[in-house]
Chains A and B, each alone.
Chain A
C-alpha cells in the first residue's frame, strides 16, 4: 500500500495541511510527534483506519481491568499490562524482562504450565500462586494459550485472574461446612414455610433421615405428635426476628422413637436483612435428661434416707432416754433407801450406776440436739434477741458458773432471725466449754458481736487451757474429744452441734487459740 511519511517543522504544517491532499488519502498525526517536528503519515484511508484500530486495541489491552501478559518460550516475560503490574505491585522494569519463574511460588506448577503450553495445550482456570512485590501471596487462576507464527512459539497469551478473596471465602465456607457436618448436634436450615433446606450428618445420626430423604419436606415431619402445634408458633417468632434459645421439646425420629431435644433456632437473613429462613441446632438431650432424672431420684432417695436417719436418731435418743431415766431415778432411790446398808462396795456400785446413767442421758440429749440441728426445719420468721437467749443460757448454766466462779461479760447482742434453740445451743456449748476447759484460775469469758458487712461476727473468748491448733478442725467432729472423760467430762458433741447449726444458717465457725492462754471461738450468722 503506498504511503509517504513527511517530516517537517511545525511551522510548516499549516502550509502542508492547506495543500489539497490526494483523494484516496487522509492525514494522521503520528504519536511520535515532538515539539520540534511532526511526523505526518500520509496514507490511504484504509491504512489509517487499521492504525486507529490498533491504537484502540493496544489501549484496550493495556488498560483493561483484567491482568494480562506474554511470556516467551524461555519463560521470559515479554509484556504485561497495567492491571497485571497493579495486581502484583511491580513496576514494568521489575517485571517485564524477568523470568516468570521468579514470580511463581510453586516451581513445579509454572514448569507444568510452560510444558503444557509448549505442547499446545490450552490452559483454563489453572490455579497457581504469585508472589507480590510486598511479599504477599495472591491466588490466581490462569487462562493461557500460545501465539504461534508459522508453527513457531512466539509468546503466550495469558490472562491472570485474582481469586485470592474467592478462595478465602471458599475455604471459610468449607470450614463452616465441615464444622456443621462434623457437629454432633443436628444443624438444619428451613425456609419461612417450614421446608427443610439443609441437613447435616448430626441430624442424620440423631433423627435417622438422610439429607436426600428429608430436604424439601416440612419441618413438622420431625415433631412429636403432641408437639405439632409448636411449629407454627416457632416460625411466627422467627418471622418477627426472634431467636428461640434452649427450647426443650420432643422430636420424632425416622424409626418412631421420641427424643428430648434442646433447640436453638435463629433467623437467617439475606444480604438486605430480610428474614428468609432459620437455622436450627437441635441437641439430643434424651440421655442427659434420663441421667438428670436418675440424679434427681437418687438425690430424693438420699434426702429421704437422710431424713429417716435423722428422724430415727431423734426418736431413738428420745425413746432411749425413758428407760435410762428409770435407771438413774431408781438408782438414786436405791441409794436413798438402802444407802449405807449395802456396805461400802454396794454404795460405790450404786454410785457408778447413777453416774453412768446420767452420763448416758447427757449423751442422748446432745445427740437429740445434734439431730435437731441437722434436720431441715423451717426458717425462723421472727427476730429474737440474742441477748435474751444469752440470759436464759446463763440461768441454765448457773450451777457450773457458780461452782467455777466464772465471770461473764458481753457487748450488746443483736436480734437474729434464728430459732431460739439454735442460738441457745451455740451459747450453751461455747460458754459451757469455756467453763469446763478452764485453767487453775476462775474463768473469765467475754461474749461479743460485731457487724461485718452482711453478717454478724460473734465471739466467745476465754482464759482457759486453750487448744493446740493442730486440732482446730478435729474438735468440730462428732464424738471428737481431746481429753478423757475423767479429766474433762463431756459428750464430744457440743462443737459438732454448734458447727451443724452454723452450717444450717449459712455461717462459719472456727477457733483461734494459744495453749495455756485461752481460746476464742468465732461464728458468723447472716444479718437477717
Chain B
C-alpha cells in the first residue's frame, strides 16, 4: 500500500515491503514460510476486513505458525468497535490502531512501525 510505503519512507525505514491483497494469499504465504522454514517479515500489518479470508483467520494462522508465531502484528482497521479490538487482542495482535483519515496522522504511523520493528529486532 502506497501510504504505508510513504509512512515508512517518511521515518527513514528501509526494507522490503511485501503486499498481499487478500486473506487467502496471506495464509498461503505463512504456510509457505513454515514449509520452507523461511524467515518471517519483521512486522506484519493486517486489516481485519480482507477479501476471501478474514483478518481474524489470518491472525489465527499467524499465531499458530512456526515462522511467524512470535512476530509483531499490527492490526490496522477502519473499525473502532470495541468487539473488534477485543477480538484482535484475543487472537494475539500486538497492537490495534484505527486507520487514520488524515494524511499527517497516517504518516505518524511510521513512528509506530519503527517502534514495533525495533522491539522485533531486539
Closest B residue to A419 using CB positions = B82
- Shortest beta-carbon distance from A381 to chain B in Å: 15
Which of A325, A335, A336 is in CB contact (< 8 Å) with B78? Answer: A325
Q: A318-B79, A333-B6 are in contact. Are A358 and B103 (CB under 8 A)?
A: no
Judge whether B3 and A333 touch: CB under 8 Å.
yes
Instruction: Identify the A interface with B (CB < 8 A).
Output: 318, 321-322, 325, 328-330, 332-333, 335-336, 358, 361
Query: Which residues of B24-83 have CB atoms within 8 Å of chain A's CB atoms?
Result: 49, 78-79
Interface size on B, residues (CB 8 A): 13
Q: With a CB–CB cut-off of 8 A, which chain A residues contact B2?
A: 330, 333
B101: Cβ under 8 A from any A Cβ: yes
Q: With a CB–CB cut-off of 8 A, which chain B residues contact A322?
A: 49, 78
Judge whether A332 and B102 touch: CB under 8 Å.
yes
Closest B residue to A327 using CB positions = B101
Q: With a CB–CB cut-off of 8 A, which chain B residues contact A358?
A: 101-102
Closest A residue to B47 using CB positions = A322
Q: With a CB–CB cut-off of 8 A, which chain A residues contact B99?
A: 325
Judge whether B78 and A332 touch: CB under 8 Å.
no
Judge whether A318 and B78 touch: CB under 8 Å.
yes
- Shortest beta-carbon distance from B75 to chain A in Å: 15
Closest B residue to A421 using CB positions = B82
Q: A358-B101, A361-B101 are in contact. Are A329 and B78 (CB under 8 A)?
A: no
Q: What are 7 of the A-B contact pairs (CB < 8 Å)?
A: A318-B78, A329-B106, A330-B3, A332-B102, A332-B104, A335-B103, A361-B101
Q: Mark B93-108, 1 if CB is under 8 A from A, else 0.
A: 0000001111110100
A336-B103 Cα distance, complex, nearest whole Å: 9
- Shortest beta-carbon distance from B98 to chain A in Å: 10
Closest A residue to B77 using CB positions = A322
Q: With a CB–CB cut-off of 8 A, which chain A residues contact B78?
A: 318, 321-322, 325
A325-B3 Cα distance, complex, nearest whole Å: 12
A321-B104 Cα distance, complex, nearest whole Å: 18
A210-B2 Cα distance, complex, nearest whole Å: 89
Judge whether A332 and B79 touch: CB under 8 Å.
no
A325-B98 Cα distance, complex, nearest whole Å: 12
Judge whether A328 and B102 touch: CB under 8 Å.
yes
Q: With a CB–CB cut-off of 8 A, which chain A residues contact B49?
A: 322
Q: Specify which of B79, B99, B101 lies most central, judged by the most chain A CB atoms within 10 Å of its CB.
A: B101
- Shortest beta-carbon distance from A362 to chain B in Å: 9
Judge whether B103 and A329 touch: CB under 8 Å.
yes
A136-B72 Cα distance, complex, nearest whole Å: 107
- Shortest beta-carbon distance from A233 to chain B in Å: 51
Q: Known pairs A322-B49, A325-B78, A329-B101. 12 more at Cβ < 8 A?
A: A318-B79, A321-B78, A322-B78, A325-B99, A328-B102, A329-B100, A329-B103, A330-B2, A333-B6, A336-B103, A358-B101, A358-B102
A224-B103 Cα distance, complex, nearest whole Å: 75
- Shortest beta-carbon distance from B77 to chain A in Å: 10
Q: With a CB–CB cut-off of 8 A, which chain B residues contact A361?
A: 101
Judge whether B103 and A333 touch: CB under 8 Å.
yes
Q: With a CB–CB cut-off of 8 A, which chain B residues contact A318?
A: 78-79
A262-B102 Cα distance, complex, nearest whole Å: 67
- Shortest beta-carbon distance from B106 to chain A in Å: 6
Query: Which residues of B1-21 have CB atoms within 8 Å of chain A's CB atoms?
Result: 2-3, 6
- Shortest beta-carbon distance from A157 to chain B in Å: 104
A322-B77 Cα distance, complex, nearest whole Å: 10
A510-B79 Cα distance, complex, nearest whole Å: 32
Q: A336-B103, A358-B101, A361-B101 are in contact. Are A329 and B79 (CB under 8 A)?
A: no
Q: A318-B78, A322-B78 are in contact. Are A328 and B3 (CB under 8 A)?
A: no
Q: With a CB–CB cut-off of 8 A, which chain A residues contact B102?
A: 328-329, 332, 358
Q: With a CB–CB cut-off of 8 A, which chain A residues contact B6?
A: 333
Q: With a CB–CB cut-off of 8 A, which chain B residues contact A333?
A: 2-3, 6, 103
- Shortest beta-carbon distance from B105 to chain A in Å: 9
The 4 closest A-B pairs by CB, nearest first: A332-B103, A325-B101, A322-B78, A361-B101
Closest B residue to A319 using CB positions = B49
Closest A residue to B99 using CB positions = A325
Q: With a CB–CB cut-off of 8 A, which chain A residues contact B103?
A: 329, 332-333, 335-336
A358-B105 Cα distance, complex, nearest whole Å: 14
- Shortest beta-carbon distance from B7 to chain A in Å: 11
Q: With a CB–CB cut-off of 8 A, which chain B residues contact A325?
A: 78, 99, 101
A325-B2 Cα distance, complex, nearest whole Å: 14
Which of A321, A329, A335 is in CB contact (< 8 Å) with B3? Answer: A329
Judge whether B79 and A328 touch: CB under 8 Å.
no
Q: With a CB–CB cut-off of 8 A, which chain A residues contact B100?
A: 329
A61-B106 Cα distance, complex, nearest whole Å: 124
Closest B residue to A368 using CB positions = B80
- Shortest beta-carbon distance from A170 to chain B in Å: 77
Q: With a CB–CB cut-off of 8 A, which chain A residues contact B3?
A: 329-330, 333
- Shortest beta-carbon distance from B55 to chain A in Å: 13
Closest A residue to B104 using CB positions = A332
- Shortest beta-carbon distance from A483 to chain B in Å: 24
Closest B residue to A420 using CB positions = B82
- Shortest beta-carbon distance from B84 to chain A in Å: 11
A359-B104 Cα distance, complex, nearest whole Å: 17
A361-B103 Cα distance, complex, nearest whole Å: 14
A318-B84 Cα distance, complex, nearest whole Å: 13
Q: Specify which of B6, B49, B102 lies most central, judged by the most chain A CB atoms within 10 Å of its CB.
A: B102
